[in-house]
Amino acid sequence: MLAYYGYTISPNQMETVEGFLICRNVPIARTGEMEYLESELKPDGSTPDHGRTKEEGEPMRLYHVSEDPDILVFHPRLPKRDDLDPATGLVWALDEERLPNFLTPRDCPRVAYHVGSRTSAGDRERFFSSSRARHALVIEQKWFDAMRNTRLYLYVFDGDGFELQDSVAGYYVSKCTQVPVARQEVDDLFGALFQRHVELRVVENLWDIADRVRSSSLNWSLCRMGYAQPRV
């Protein structure tokens, strides 16, 4: 048993003869920067809203993912999609919430899905292993080694000059040349996904989960499926 001797300042405070302050029956907390999980920032365990606008008090951050470490300037390129003007060049970026969909090798086929405002409780239970999970990525077994050995670079932009192109996919586009404000290196794709609380699944063939996700109430993206194994 420890005993301290000193002078009583109040019913819960005492100063020792050495000059130390002893406090009883009070909560203690440290000051300074604190690190929290995203799920700890909202009472319901949901992730914070990403892509906030400057009107809401914080600058929007957008990302372009590449295996090229030396891009200094992004010039608009003519799109190849039928739903876009083929004569208008665009610079593409995506918001932080959908960034995990692209934390793979460029040509890796994948099925990505996340909880949206219209996602049913049944689909959340059916497609996720945890009630707290909100985002999942499914890849093929044959791409496992490529995932482990690929290094990616995240080019960061502020939101100025970009406009929302697809709210589900999180795509933003700019018609102007853009210079990134930062570059982040990712040498552990699995770790980057887990850090963002993304459920990763490795399957032999993607088409079964792709078909089931497309008929669900989830928000989903099918990426690089031209490189996927054929249907069984």
139-168 pLDDT, tens per residue? 999 999 999 999 999 999 999 899 999 999
**Sheet with 13-16, side-by-side order of all strands:** 6-10, 13-16, 21-23
The residue-averaged pLDDT of 3-11 equals 64
Domain that holds residue 15: 6-26+64-227
With 50 as the cut, is the pLDDT of residue 50 above it? no
The residue-averaged pLDDT of 56-68 equals 86
Instruction: Give a yes or no: residue 36 inside a domain.
Output: no
* Res 3: pLDDT: 56
The residue-averaged pLDDT of 67-76 equals 97
CA neighbor of 149 nearest in space, from 105, 94, 99, 98: 105
Instruction: Give a yes or no: residue 53 inside a domain.
Output: no
Find out whether 12 and 26 touch, Cβ atoms under 8 Å.
Answer: yes
Instruction: Give a yes or no: residue 40 inside a domain.
Output: no
Find out whether 106 and 75 touch, Cβ atoms under 8 Å.
Answer: no
With b meaning 16 or more CB within 10 Å and e meaning fewer, what string describes 58-80?
eebbbbbbbeeeeeeebebeebe
Instruction: Give a yes or no: residue 74 inside a domain.
Output: yes
Task: Give the 3-state secondary structure of residue 164.
Answer: strand
Instruction: Give a yes or no: residue 38 inside a domain.
Output: no
* Res 22: pLDDT: 75
Q: How many domains does the chain have?
A: 1
Stretch among 55-69, 181-195, 217-231 having the lowest mean pLDDT:
55-69
List the beta bridge partners of residue 219.
Answer: 114
Find out whether 209 and 116 touch, Cβ atoms under 8 Å.
Answer: no
- The pLDDT tens digits of the residues spanning 106-120 come to 999 999 999 999 999
Instruction: Give a yes or no: residue 166 inside a domain.
Output: yes
Predicted model pTM = 0.74
To the nearest whole number, what is the mean pLDDT of the chain? 87
Please give the radius of gyration of the chain, using alpha carbons only, rounded to the nearest integer. 24
* Res 23: pLDDT: 75
With 70 as the cut, is the pLDDT of residue 1 above it? no
Instruction: Give a yes or no: residue 140 inside a domain.
Output: yes
Instruction: Give a yes or no: residue 39 inside a domain.
Output: no
